[in-house]
Amino acid sequence: MSIELKNEFGLIDISQDTVAQIAGGAAIECYGIVGMASKHQIRDGLTDILRKENFTKGVLVRQEKDNLHIDMYIIVSYGTKISEIAYQVQSKVKYTLNKSLGMSVKSVNVYVQGVRVANV
């Protein structure tokens, strides 16, 4: 499935995997994020931290009319304020997708799947 953008020049199709890759890359840059988790924990394994090439397993992209809805599954660092990390992820993902795609992001839902001690 793909996301369709219409402009004065024509129609643009962007795959949901591409949107998920952009959103995952933006989220992983935020302070306090250890990694992305799988949205299917039972099937994929509870303790897996996704690598960069597998961000699409930790991000769910939905389109309703001209709005995007993003669900992100993350693992946070121990000792950080989870509410602040979630807010930073929401802000960064919304900004990055708006600048990259030119679409408004209606919601970014953050699901914290675990807390880990970050390797120093």
Helices (H), 1-120: 16-28, 41-44, 82-101
Which top CATH class is 2-116?
alpha beta
Predicted confidence (pLDDT) per residue in 92-105, tens digit? 999 999 998 888 89
- H or E stretch including 1? none
Report DSSP state, residue 53.
G
Domain boundaries, the chain: 2-116
Q: Give the residue-averaged pLDDT of 52-73.
A: 82
Whether 104 contacts 98, CB under 8 Å: yes
pLDDT at 22: 92
**Could you tell me which residues are beta bridge partners of residue 62?**
69
Predicted confidence (pLDDT) per residue in 110-120, tens digit? 999 888 886 65
pLDDT at 40: 64
CA nearest neighbour of 62 among 92, 99, 94, 107: 107
Instruction: Please check the confidence at residue 54 and state whether its pLDDT lies above 60.
Output: yes
More confident residue, 52 or 65: 65
